[in-house]
């Protein structure tokens, strides 16, 4: 069961790029890396998922080095509405989503 480590909190200002790094030293060969975003009083929402190298969508980019022992979620030009908790999860659907572990996440605060 891959355990992840993220910073507890980060601060940024509007318009800046934010990079949140997640460590997952014992990631397994079949594991994917998935990031979720959670606003207060809402359930987590899927942001991005990747296996290796770089993945980009309309919301974020995910950078994964060759050894896959860490990953970095990159949010370009953040706004106040990006203030949320971000969770990094590692696992694969074939062994069951029940083995995915939500840690405490990274609380991002974006200020004007």
Partner 1 sequence: NAGVTQTPKFRVLKTGQSMTLLCAQDMNHEYMYWYRQDPGMGLRLIHYSVGEGTTAKGEVPDGYNVSRLKKQNFLLGLESAAPSQTSVYFCASTDGGDNSPLHFGNGTRLTVT
With binding defined as CB under 8 A, does residue 36 bind partner 1?
A: yes
* 29, 43, 58, 67: which one binds partner 1 (CB under 8 A): 43
Q: Are 48 and 58 within 8 A, CB to CB?
A: no
* 86, 105, 108, 110: which one binds partner 1 (CB under 8 A): 105
Q: In the window 3-32, what residues touch partner 1 (CB under 8 A)?
A: 32
Cβ-based nearer residue to partner 1, 101 or 109: 101
3-state SS, the chain, equals CCCCECCCEEEEECCCCEEEEEECCCCCCCCEEEEEEECCCCCCEEEEEECCEEEECCCCEEEECCCCCEEEEEECCCCHHHCEEEEEEEECCCCCHHHCCCCCCEEEEEEC
* 18, 24, 27, 34: which one binds partner 1 (CB under 8 A): 34
With binding defined as CB under 8 A, does residue 61 bind partner 1?
A: no
With binding defined as CB under 8 A, does residue 37 bind partner 1?
A: no
How many residues form the binding site for partner 1 (CB under 8 A)?
A: 22
Q: How far is it between the farthest Cα atoms of the chain?
A: 43
Residues binding partner 1 (CB under 8 A): 32, 34, 36, 41-46, 49, 87, 92-93, 96-98, 100-105
């Amino acid at each position: 069961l891959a355990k992840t480590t993220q910073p507890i909190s980060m601060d940024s200002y509007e318009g800046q790029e934010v990079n949140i790094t997640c460590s997952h030293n014992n990631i397994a060969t079949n594991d994917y890396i998935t990031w979720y975003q959670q606003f207060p009083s809402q359930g987590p929402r899927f942001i991005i998922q990747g296996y290796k190298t770089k993945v980009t969508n309309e919301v974020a980019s995910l950078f994964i080095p060759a050894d896959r022992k860490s990953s970095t979620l990159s949010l370009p030009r953040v706004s106040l509405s990006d203030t949320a908790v971000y969770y990094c999860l590692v696992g694969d659907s074939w062994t069951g989503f029940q083995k995915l572990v939500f840690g405490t996440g990274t609380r991002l605060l974006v200020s004007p």
